[in-house]
Structure 1
Amino acid sequence: MSRHVAVLPDDILQTIATKFNGEESAEGSATTKVLRFLRLPHPRTGLPALFFPPELPDRSKSTILEVQAVTPPNPRSWFMPEGEVMKDGQLLILTPVDPVFLLIPLLRCSCPTDNAPSNFRSAEDLFEVATSAYLQTSGSTPSQGEPTPYSSDDLLRLLSYRCIDSAMRRICEVKEITADIVVYRYSQEKTTNYLKTKVDRLAKPAICETSSTIVRQLAKDGLMDDGKEELLSSARIKAACELLSQYLSNDLYTILLTQYDFAALDAHLQTIQAEQMASIEDTPIPKAKRGKAQSQTGEAAEKKRKAPAKASTGVEKLKKVNVNGMSKISSFFQKPAK
């Protein structure tokens, strides 16, 4: 079995170690060693991606981790504590992902194409309808003898995790018919409102400015100066939207952007860009570089002036004529002999 080096949250690491070691649970039964990865469509691209849904020590909660492989540009190896050398130097990073992002592209397929309101369904029925529609629209319906990038089994398996129920309630209209019968219907309005709450949270200075990349960009755009508070707030919101765009399709990202007014911020950024372009054009060329450029220009002109003119095609052909035994043209102008 191949081995990989991975980085993952500490509580997840403890849970995985417990499963691999076969330690007994509080009920006295040995925990299973089967850890299954799910191949699901990525929320933004729709391409197959790996996700890992481990059970947390707190049995009332669960989470889903996204598996990403970081491959070095040049060959690398890992030296293990046991003295073993792993030739595969890539690093696996497992990070928590909001299950709502996994549900959005799937449940959106349950809506009628004519924008008519869809019917309320139980969670099982909703997943079956959405999964079937998604596989058809994405071109992943299995052909005879051909493997699929992801299977309906992995998509339907999402419903078995506890975090999915709360995720569905965030983006679906819910009706509780009885204590045991609950029906759902995907809601674009609830989805947009939920994404806005995430934007508001990410746009808070205490969270947004923990990223040195974002802070540098805000300072570069002149938004950290005094008197730019409104523009700075708008820039934080736009940065938060860009972060969410990593897990949103293009059309859903466009819908999210329409919920905010970035006109003043865009005008400011265009002004900054115009000023930077003007400063580049007005920057004088250093004397040393200017003299060198002029020297190179003069040398090129001199070479062009001294270059011999290229002979015509007729002259080149005459040069190749064999003149052996032929009289010189001057002989035709001599006086005849007496």
Structure 2
Amino acid sequence: MSSKKKRSPNTSNDMWVVVAADSAVAAPRPQDGDPVMVKLRSPSTGVASLYMFGSGNAQVYEVKAFNEDYHSWFIGQTVHRDGKLLYITPVDPLYLLLPYMIQAAKEGKFQPLHQMLIDEDFPACTRLLNCKQTETSIGHVAEEKEVGSQKFYRYSREKTMEWLKKKVDKTVTALKNAKISVGEGVKSTTYIRVKQECDGREEDYLRYAHGLISEYISEDLSKDLLKHLQLPEVTSPKKAEPPSKKRKVSDKPVEAEEDYTKFNSTDFARKPPKKMTAAQKSLAKVDKTGMKTMSAFFSPKAKTEKAEW
């Protein structure tokens, strides 16, 4: 009897296949320590999300996972069953700070930044204080006061809107430089340009960039930013389209606008064919006096009384 071939041992769960920025994988200095992955509160949803702090907490990175069923990796002579592909990219720490600053602003007073970053569920959020961008960019979203050697901050909606607008403008410039089409003539799944004249509107780029930035801010901030960008509201195609206009082909299910069950009644008579066969012609010559149709034998009897319930 032939013995079953042994499978290669599975690698441990602390191994991943990662695509990361050079700054994330650079060799750390001895005094800074290794990069570390932590869970932080997502600025857009408030739920736990995975992030990574680089050496010395100088930079924070978001961790995204691309995962499909039945994927695995061959690593050396072993098979790693977890087929996820992790993407590690830098993220502005101000996005992660904003929810805490907005919450602290309800008290209406200036506070030290470390006093705002108190989260029992996500204690690693205090690492954001060590990021280089935090100290240099905090003035973009907050008013600042300095008393002695200590700095105090208070969230500013006006500054935040201007800061987010600049983010949108930079994103629009990046999309145009990369020649990424975002108009209505683009297939969403492949980003293939369908019509050259459709992908040049400034409003399309602004809306697309706004959608990208909205992935890092709360829903309320996203709505405020849309108003700040002075973008008109998107009207529903169904409301804008005249009722008499013929519907275009769509991949969405079309709701029935008529009662199609009325065509199942016996009152609906089909039009006879234009040409009759020889059998039909001979049958038409037969005397049908006193004959009943086949449907008369199967039709229900008329009820003389109404049923009581």
2:79 pairs with one of 76, 80, 85: 85
What is the one-letter code of the residue matched to 2:113?
A
Question: Residue 5 and residue 213 in structure 1: after superposition, are their counterparts in 2 closer, same or farther (change >3 A)?
Answer: farther
Task: Tell me by how many angstroms 1:266 deviates.
Answer: 4.4
1:9 paired with 2:4, answer no
8 Å CA contact retained: 1:99, 1:167: no
1:46-65 aligned at under 5 Å gives the runs 46-55=46-55, 62-65=58-61
Residue 36 (structure 2) aligns with: 36
Structure 1: give runs of 5+ residues left out of the alignment: 20-24, 136-149, 283-296, 315-338
In 1, the alpha carbon distance for the partners of 2:165 and 2:62 equals 22
Structural mapping, 1:1-338, within 5 Å: 1-2=12-13, 3-13=15-25, 15=26, 18-19=27-28, 25=29, 29=30, 32-33=33-34, 35-55=35-55, 62-72=58-68, 74-80=69-75, 82-112=76-106, 118-128=108-118, 131=119, 150-151=121-122, 153-178=123-148, 180-204=149-173, 206-208=174-176, 210=178, 212=180, 214-215=182-183, 217=185, 225=197, 232-263=201-232, 266=234, 274=241, 278=245, 280=247, 309=298
- Aligned residues of 1:121 and 1:185 also touching (Cα < 8 A): yes
Which stretches in structure 2 are left out of the alignment for 5+ residues? 1-11, 250-263, 271-292, 304-309
- Specify whether residues 10 and 160 from structure 1 end up closer, same or farther in structure 2 by C-alpha distance, changes over 3 A only: closer
Structure 1 distance, partners of 2:217, 2:171, is: 16
Normalised TM-score (structure 2): 0.66
Q: Which has the higher helix share?
A: 1
Distance in 2 of aligned mates of 1:301 and 1:84: 72
Residues 13-45 of structure 1: per-residue CA shift (max 9 Å, x gap): 2x2xx35xxxxx4xxx57634x32221111111
Tell me which amino acid in the other structure corresponds to 2:298.
A
Q: Distance in 2 between matches of 1:42 and 1:256?
A: 19
Deviation of residue 169 (structure 1)? Answer: 2.0
* Higher alpha-carbon Rg: 1
- Is residue 182–residue 204 contact of structure 2 (8 Å, CA) maintained in 1? no
Contact 1:121 1:183 in 2 (8 A): yes
Give the TM-score of the pair, scaled to structure 1. 0.61
What letter corresponds to residue 55 of structure 2 in structure 1?
E
Secondary structure of the residue aligned to 1:252 is: helix
Contact 1:39 1:154 in 2 (8 A): yes
Deviation by residue 1:240-274 (Cα, 9 ceiling, x = unmatched): 111111112111111111113333x847x959973
Give 1:192 deviation, angstroms. 0.9
Verify the 8 A CA contact 1:4 1:91 in the aligned structure 2. Answer: yes
| RMSD of aligned Cα (Å) | 3.9
Percentage of pairs with the same residue: 23
* 2:283 equivalent in structure 1: none
**In 2 relative to 1, CA 217–9 (structure 1 residues): closer, same or farther, beyond 3 Å?**
farther
Q: 1:109 to 1:223 in 2, by over 3 A?
A: farther
Q: Give the distance between the partners of 2:126 and 2:32, measured in 1 at CA.
A: 24
Letter in 1 for 2:24: I
Aligned length: 246
